[in-house]
Structure 1
Amino acid sequence: MITRFFIFRPVTTLLLTLALLLLGALGYRLLPVAPLPQVDFPTIMVSASLPGASPETMAATVATPLERALGQIAGITEMTSSSSQGSSNIILQFELTRDINGAARDVQAAINASRSLLPSSMPSLPTYRKANPSDAPIVMLALTSTTRSKGELYDIAESKIDQKIAQVQGVGDVSLMGSALPAVRIDLQPQMLTHAGISLDTVRAAIANSTSNLPKGMLQGANQSWVIDGNSQLDGAKQYRDLVVSYQNGRAIRLSDIATVYDSVEDQYNVGYFNGSPSVMIGVTRQAGANMLQTIDAIKAQLPALEENLPADVSLKIVVDRSPNVRASLYDTEETLLIAIALVIGVVFIFLRNLQAVAIPALALPVSLVGTCAVMYLLGYSLDNLSLMALIIATGFVVDDAIVVLENITRYIEEGLSPVRAALKGANEVSFTVLSMTLSLVAVFIPILLMGSIVGRLFREFAVTLTVSLIISMLVSLSLTPMLCSRLLKRKPNVTARPHPLYQWIENGLNRLLAAYARGLNRVMRHQRLTLFSLMLTVILNLFLYSVVQKGFFPNQDTGLLMGMLRADQNVSFQAMKPKMEAFARLIQQDPAVDGVMSSMGSGAFGSRNTANFFVHLKDFDQRDATATEVANRLSGKTRNVPGVELFLMAAQDIHIGGRSANASYQYSLQADDLETLRVWTPKVKAALEAIPQLTSVDSDSQTGGQEVMVTIDRDRAKRLGVNVEMVDTLLNNSFAQRQVATLYRTLNQYHVVMSLQDTWTRDPETLNKLYVINDAGDQVPLSAFARFSGANAPLSVAHQGQSATSTIAFNLADGVSLEQASALIKAAMAKIALPGDIQAGFQGTAKAFGDLTASMPWLILAALAAVYIVLGMLYESYIHPLTILSTLPSAGVGALLLLLLTGTQLTVIALIGILLLIGIVKKNAIMMIDFALAAERKQGMTPQQAIVQACLMRFRPIMMTTLAAFFGALPLALGSGGDADLRSPLGLAIAGGLALSQLLTLFTTPVVYLYLDRASRATKRQWARLRA
Structure 2
Amino acid sequence: MDIQLTPGANQLAAKKQVLALLEKDAEHFPTGLKYRITQDNSRFVAASVNNVLETIVIAFFLVALVLFIFLQNWRASLVAVCTIPVSILGTLACLAVLGYSLNTISLFALILAIGIVVDDAIVIVENVERLRKLHPEMDIKQIVSLTMHEVFGAIVAIVLVLSVVFLPVMGLGGLSGIMYRQFAVTIACAVIISGICSLSLTPAMCCLIMSKVMAPVKLFAWFESGFAKLNRCYVRTAERLIVMKKTVILIWLAIILTTLGLFNIISQGFVPNEDQGLVFASLELPSSYSLGQTESEVKKFIKNLNKNLNVDSVVSITGVNFRDSGSQSSSVASLIVNLKNWSERSGEKSTADEIITSLENLARQHSGMVVNAYNQPPIRGLSTTVGVEFYIEDRSIGDASKLEEVANAFIKQLATHKAIGRATQSLNTHALEVSILPNVEQATYYGVNLQDYYNALQTIYSNNNVNFAYIMQGLVWVVLEADFPFRASIKNLNNVFVHSEKNDTMVPLATLSTVKYASAAKVIQHFNGYLASKITIRARDGYSMGDVMQIVRQEANQSLPKGYDFEWSGTSYQAEQSQKTSSLAFSFSFVMIYLVLAALYEMWRLPVVVLLGVPVALFGAAVILLLSASQNDLYFQISLIALLGLSAKNIILLVEYGLELMRQGHSASYSAIHALSVRFRPIVMTSITFIAGTLPLVFASGAGANAQHSVGLGIIGGILGSVLIATLLTPAFFVMLMRSKKFTK
User: What range describes the TM-score normalised by the shorter chain of this pair?
Assistant: over 0.9
Indicate the residue corresponding to 1:980 in structure 2. 704
Verify: 1:500 aligned to 2:225, yes or no: no
Distance 1:772 1:893, change over 3 A: same
Could you tell me whether the CA contact under 8 Å between 1:682 and 1:702 is conserved in 2?
yes
Indicate the residue corresponding to 2:40 in structure 1. 321
Indicate the residue corresponding to 2:509 in structure 1. 783
The 5 A counterparts of 1:473-492 are 473-490=194-211
The 5 A counterparts of 1:150-161 are none
Residue 885 of structure 1, aligned match among 610, 620, 624: 610
CA distance in 1, matches of 2:567, 2:527: 12
Verify: 1:730 aligned to 2:488, yes or no: no
Indicate the residue corresponding to 1:15 in structure 2. none
Indicate the residue corresponding to 2:192 in structure 1. 471
Verify: 1:835 aligned to 2:557, yes or no: no
Q: Give the counterpart letter for 2:105 in structure 1.
A: L
Could you tell me whether the CA contact under 8 Å between 2:624 and 2:717 is conserved in 1?
yes
| CA offset digits 1:135-161 (Å, max 9, x no partner) | xxxxxxxxxxxxxxxxxxxxxxxxxxx
Could you tell me whether the CA contact under 8 Å between 2:87 and 2:117 is conserved in 1?
yes
SS state at 1:757 partner: coil
Residue 395 of structure 1, aligned match among 86, 106, 114: 114
Indicate the residue corresponding to 2:445 in structure 1. 720
Q: How far is 1:724 from its partner? A: 2.6
Indicate the residue corresponding to 1:530 in structure 2. 247
Verify: 1:808 aligned to 2:525, yes or no: no
RMSD, aligned CA: 2.3
Q: How far is 1:897 from its partner? A: 1.1
Indicate the residue corresponding to 2:128 in structure 1. 409
The 5 A counterparts of 1:1014-1025 are 1014-1015=738-739
CA distance in 2, matches of 1:314, 1:750: 27
Q: How far is 1:360 from its partner? A: 0.6
The 5 A counterparts of 1:166-181 are none
Q: How far is 1:773 from its partner? A: 1.8
Indicate the residue corresponding to 1:50 in structure 2. none
Q: Give the counterpart letter for 1:586 in structure 2.
A: K
SS state at 1:479 partner: helix
Distance 1:664 1:550, change over 3 A: closer
Verify: 1:795 aligned to 2:521, yes or no: yes
Could you tell me whether the CA contact under 8 Å between 2:106 and 2:186 is conserved in 1?
yes
The 5 A counterparts of 1:82-231 are none
| CA offset digits 1:5-50 (Å, max 9, x no partner) | xxxxxxxxxxxxxxxxxxxxxxxxxxxxxxxxxxxxxxxxxxxxxx
Residue 671 of structure 2, aligned match among 938, 947, 953: 947
CA distance in 1, matches of 2:586, 2:695: 23
SS state at 1:477 partner: helix
Q: How far is 1:801 from its partner? A: 2.8
Indicate the residue corresponding to 2:434 in structure 1. 709
Residue 310 of structure 1, aligned match among 29, 40, 46: 29
Q: How far is 1:1017 from its partner? A: 6.2
Could you tell me whether the CA contact under 8 Å between 2:387 and 2:545 is conserved in 1?
no
Verify: 1:592 aligned to 2:309, yes or no: yes
Indicate the residue corresponding to 2:103 in structure 1. 384
Indicate the residue corresponding to 2:276 in structure 1. 559
The 5 A counterparts of 1:656-735 are 656=380, 658=382, 661=384, 665-672=387-394, 676-690=398-412, 691-692=414-415, 693-735=418-460
CA distance in 1, matches of 2:292, 2:32: 30
Higher-Rg member (1/2): 1
SS state at 2:566 partner: strand
CA distance in 2, matches of 1:357, 1:404: 11
Q: How far is 1:528 from its partner? A: 3.4
Distance 1:665 1:287, change over 3 A: farther
| CA offset digits 1:797-838 (Å, max 9, x no partner) | 12223443332112222211111111122223223323223x
Could you tell me whether the CA contact under 8 Å between 1:656 and 1:846 is conserved in 2?
no
Q: How far is 1:764 from its partner? A: 2.1
Higher relative contact order (CA 8 A, sep 6+): 2
Residue 182 of structure 2, aligned match among 453, 457, 461: 461
Indicate the residue corresponding to 2:580 in structure 1. 855
CA distance in 1, matches of 2:548, 2:226: 50
Higher strand share: 1
Distance 1:664 1:957, change over 3 A: closer
Could you tell me whether the CA contact under 8 Å between 2:59 and 2:696 is conserved in 1?
yes
Residue 229 of structure 2, aligned match among 477, 489, 512: 512
SS state at 1:792 partner: strand
CA distance in 2, matches of 1:1017, 1:719: 104
Indicate the residue corresponding to 1:254 in structure 2. none
Residue 721 of structure 2, aligned match among 997, 1008, 1012: 997
Q: How far is 1:1015 from its partner? A: 4.1
CA distance in 1, matches of 2:493, 2:434: 10
Residue 904 of structure 1, aligned match among 600, 606, 629: 629
Distance 1:649 1:744, change over 3 A: farther
CA distance in 2, matches of 1:511, 1:1014: 28
Unaligned runs of 5+ in 1: 1-281, 1022-1029
Indicate the residue corresponding to 1:187 in structure 2. none
Residue 876 of structure 1, aligned match among 598, 601, 604: 601
Higher helix share: 2
Verify: 1:958 aligned to 2:663, yes or no: no
The 5 A counterparts of 1:2-13 are none
Q: Give the counterpart letter for 1:983 in structure 2.
A: A
SS state at 2:37 partner: strand
CA distance in 2, matches of 1:398, 1:748: 66
Indicate the residue corresponding to 1:571 in structure 2. 288
Verify: 1:428 aligned to 2:145, yes or no: no
Q: How far is 1:644 from its partner? A: 1.5
SS state at 1:478 partner: helix
Indicate the residue corresponding to 2:497 in structure 1. 772
CA distance in 1, matches of 2:737, 2:353: 52
Q: Give the counterpart letter for 2:525 in structure 1.
A: A
The 5 A counterparts of 1:284-295 are 284-295=3-14
Could you tell me whether the CA contact under 8 Å between 1:405 and 1:427 is conserved in 2?
yes
Indicate the residue corresponding to 1:86 in structure 2. none
Distance 1:1015 1:425, change over 3 A: closer
Could you tell me whether the CA contact under 8 Å between 1:551 and 1:907 is conserved in 2?
yes
Q: How far is 1:901 from its partner? A: 1.1
Could you tell me whether the CA contact under 8 Å between 2:389 and 2:537 is conserved in 1?
yes
CA distance in 2, matches of 1:870, 1:569: 66
Verify: 1:419 aligned to 2:102, yes or no: no
Could you tell me whether the CA contact under 8 Å between 1:670 and 1:678 is conserved in 2?
no
SS state at 1:809 partner: strand
CA distance in 1, matches of 2:671, 2:291: 85
Residue 344 of structure 1, aligned match among 63, 79, 83: 63
Q: Give the counterpart letter for 2:221 in structure 1.
A: Q
Could you tell me whether the CA contact under 8 Å between 2:387 and 2:537 is conserved in 1?
yes
Could you tell me whether the CA contact under 8 Å between 2:238 and 2:732 is conserved in 1?
no
| CA offset digits 1:98-139 (Å, max 9, x no partner) | xxxxxxxxxxxxxxxxxxxxxxxxxxxxxxxxxxxxxxxxxx
CA distance in 2, matches of 1:320, 1:858: 38
Q: Give the counterpart letter for 1:681 in structure 2.
A: L
Q: How far is 1:594 from its partner? A: 0.8
Indicate the residue corresponding to 1:186 in structure 2. none
Q: How far is 1:731 from its partner? A: 0.9
CA distance in 1, matches of 2:466, 2:24: 36
| CA offset digits 1:562-592 (Å, max 9, x no partner) | 1221111223211221111112212222223
Unaligned runs of 5+ in 2: none
Superposition TM-score, scaled by structure 1 size: 0.68
Q: How far is 1:317 from its partner? A: 2.4
Superposition TM-score, scaled by structure 2 size: 0.93
| CA offset digits 1:600-639 (Å, max 9, x no partner) | 2145743322211111110111222443233223322332
Indicate the residue corresponding to 2:19 in structure 1. 300
Percent sequence identity is 27
SS state at 2:525 partner: strand
Could you tell me whether the CA contact under 8 Å between 1:567 and 1:612 is conserved in 2?
yes
Q: How far is 1:911 from its partner? A: 0.7
| CA offset digits 1:518-571 (Å, max 9, x no partner) | 232233234333233111110011110010001100011222111221111223
CA distance in 2, matches of 1:978, 1:842: 35
Q: How far is 1:445 from its partner? A: 1.2
Q: How far is 1:361 from its partner? A: 0.8
Q: Give the counterpart letter for 1:456 in structure 2.
A: G
| CA offset digits 1:742-770 (Å, max 9, x no partner) | 55644497766543334333222232244
